Amino acid sequence: MNLNLFVWRQKGPNEPGKLEEIKAIDVSPDMSFLEMLDEVNERLVHQGKDPIAFDHDCREGICGTCSQVINGVPHGPQEKTTTCQLHMRKFKDGDSIYIEPWRAKAFPLVKDLIVDRSALDRIIQAGGYTSAHTGGAPDGNAILIPKPCADRAMDAAECIGCGACVAACPNGSAMLFTAAKVSQLAYLPQGKPEAARRACVMTDAMVQEGFGNCSNHYECEAACPKGIKVSFIAKLNREVLKARCESI
C-alpha cells in the first residue's frame, strides 16, 4: 500500500520546524511502523536527503524508547501498543498519517521526532528509590507480601517510562508516570516507610521540571502502552494526603 506521511521535521532544538509531506511507497501490511519508517529513510538517503530522525531501541515493546504521536495519539491508534509494535495492517492504502514528536515543555526537542526525556529520570532521582540498604537478594518468601499488594506493585512496575502519558495529557503532566513509580514502591514493605515523603518530593520535582498538573482527564490511561491505570494516581494522591496529615 501507499501512504501519505506528514512528518514533523526540525533540524535542531532552536531551528524552526514544520510538517513535511513524505510518500511511503509499497508498504507491506506486515511491516511494523518503524520498519515502514526505515524504508522511507532508506529512500530519502538514496535521494541524498536527510532521513527522519526517530528514537527506537528494543523494537519489542519493552524499552519505551520509541516515541511518536501518530494521528494525534501517542503510539498510534492501537490500544496498549508501542509504536514499534504497531503494524501497518492497522492502516489502509491511501491513508494520510500525521507523525509528531512528544510535545511538552519538559521534553525539549532534539531533532525531528526525537525529544529529550531525561526530565523523567530526574523525577526518579528525586525520590524513586528506597534509601535503606536492603543487602543482597533475600530468600524467597523471607518477606511475606500479600498477593494483592504484590500484584498492584507489579502492575505499576509495568511502566516503561516512555512518556506517552505526558504526550497525551492536555496539561503535559507526568502524573501517571510519577504515580506508577511511587506505587511500585509504596505497595511493598521495603518502599512503604518513605512512601508519603517520596510522593511529595517526586511530584514537587515533576512541576519543577515544567510538567503540568493533573486535571483527571484520564487521557494518559488511554494512551499508556502498558495499560497503567489512573487508580495509581489516586494512590499517589493518598500518599501526599498522608504526608500532609503527618506534616512531613
Partner 1 sequence: MPTMTNECTAVTTSAKWITKKRTMAETGVKPKPVAQTAAALIQVTTFANPVTKKMMMGGTGLALIAFLFIHLLGNLSLFAGSGGLNTYAQFLHTMPVVVWVFRFVIALMFILHVWYAIQVTIENRTARPVDYACRSYQKSTLISRSMIWTGLIVAGFLIYHLLHFTLQSLYPDTSAAVLRDSLGRPDVYRMVVLGFQNTLSSLFYLTGLLALAFHLSHGIHSALQTFGLATQRTLPIKIRAAFIIAGMLFFAYTSIPISIFVGAVK
Angle at 96 between CA 92 and CA 100, to 5 degrees: 120
Q: Which three cell numbers stand for residue 142?
A: 523471607
Q: Does the footprint of ligand FES cover residue 31 (CB under 6 A)?
A: no
Footprint (CB under 6 A) of ligand FES, residues 84-123: 84
Identify which of residues 58 and 154 has a Cβ nearer to partner 1 in the complex.
Answer: 154
Please give the C-alpha separations between residue 43 and each of 10, 82, 86, in angstroms, as whole numbers.
19, 25, 21
Q: Does the footprint of ligand FES cover residue 227 (CB under 6 A)?
A: no
Buried-state track 173-190, b at ≥16 Cβ within 10 A, e below 16: bbbbbbbbbbbbbbbbee
Instruction: Output the residue with the shortest Cβ distance to ligand HEM.
Output: 215
In angstroms, what is the minimal distance from the CB of 48 to partner 1?
27
In angstroms, what is the minimal distance from the CB of 15 to partner 1?
13
Q: Judged by CB under 6 A, which of 57, 79, 116, 121 binds ligand FES? A: 57
Q: Which three cell numbers stand for residue 217?
A: 482527564
In angstroms, what is the minimal distance from the CB of 216 to ligand HEM?
6
Angle between helices 195-208 and 231-246 in degrees, nearest 10: 110
Q: Binds 92, which of ligand HEM, partner 1, ligand FES, none (CB < 5 to 8 A, cut-off by type)?
A: none
Identify which of residues 88 and 214 has a Cβ nearer to ligand FES in the complex.
Answer: 88
Identify which of residues 83 and 184 has a Cβ nearer to ligand FES in the complex.
Answer: 83
Q: Does the footprint of ligand FES cover residue 157 (CB under 6 A)?
A: no
Q: Does the footprint of ligand FES cover residue 56 (CB under 6 A)?
A: yes
Q: Binds 27, which of partner 1, ligand FES, ligand HEM, none (CB < 5 to 8 A, cut-off by type)?
A: none
Residues 183/235, Cβ–Cβ less than 8 Å? yes
Chain residues in the site for ligand FES (CB under 6 A) = 56-59, 61-66, 82-84
